Amino acid sequence: MRTLITGGAGFVGSHLCDRFLKEGHEVIALDNFITGNRDNIAHLLDNPKFRVIVHDISNPIEIPDLLDNILHFASPASPVDYLDHPIPTMKVGALGSHNSLGLAKRHKARYLFASTSEIYGDPHVHPQTESYWGNVNTIGPRGVYDEAKRFGEAMTMAYHREHKVDTHIIRIFNTYGERMQLNDGRVVPNFMYQALRGEPMTLYGDGSQTRSFCHVSDLVEGIYRLLFKDYHEPVNLGNPNEVTIKQFAEEIRSLAGSKSEIVYKPLPQDDPKQRKPDITRAKTILGWEPVIGREEGLKRTMAYFQERMKRTGKL
């Protein structure tokens, strides 16, 4: 099979490239490198079954090779990135989804749209089920990402209903692991960078807000399973093991053997107070649930950050 992955040089996208190559696919990574990192795919460049197309999927493209699968993962995904690039974020959710779905229609390819738990906003339902419609501030600073993904879901379902495209939607909850960017503003790289350097660990709000962290290897397994299932409505993928941000900071500090103090800053506007996936649907349809515990996943991720920080002179 031949698989196109938009955002293929990104954090999750690059791990998907690894997985599909391992399964014997030819893989095309399409990325404009606005937030993607060439280092994430450097180890693949000599693989004859792998190639890179530098392109912004918000602009139309035709790929002459027959495509069997298209996974649309192109988008700034961290608050730092989508607040720095609000309009490209909206465009890749709207135009990028339209263009990649058009490719899937022409090639009669399976299509998977990477949505997010952010479509639930600051939720009034806990844990979040796929039937919950969410609580999103459409005009707040985070709205550019939330609404881009909500629009992408609607476009995906429209192509499924109108054009009979074989579509799939995943809603990704907080995911972490190797190849995250050190400066992407998300809690895992922030805490690890600060703890490893012995700097104050910045905690926004009072630390009582919760998240549920899933290692990227578990996420990739769920994505791969869903692509080949005859199921078209959204599926939550995440780890339901919920933890407060304060406890999470303390776990990372302990793992790093750090004496960093924890400092508190105001909670950003519209930051969700609770985030936990209901994964009943994933268990039922995919036979999937996470297998990497938080301690093991954090050890793997910290080892990656330690090596990278040493290599770049930051440690």
Report, as residue numbers or ranges, the catalytic residues.
Answer: 145
How far is it, in rounded angstroms, from Cα 59 to Cα 57? 5
Q: Which two tokens mark 22?
A: 């391992």
How far is it, in rounded angstroms, from Cα 78 to Cα 52? 23
145 touches 94 (CB < 8 A): no
How far is it, in rounded angstroms, from Cα 13 to Cα 182? 17
With vertex at residue 170, the alpha carbon angle to CA 166 and CA 174, rounded to the nearest 5 degrees, is 165
Helix (H, G, I), strand (E, B) or coil at 148: helix
148 touches 77 (CB < 8 A): no
245 touches 209 (CB < 8 A): yes
From residue 262, how far is each of 192, 199, 200, 205, 282 by CA, in Å? 12, 9, 6, 12, 36
Question: Which residue is it, tokens 């107070």?
Answer: 273
Selection from 170, 193, 195 nearest residue 180 by Cα: 193
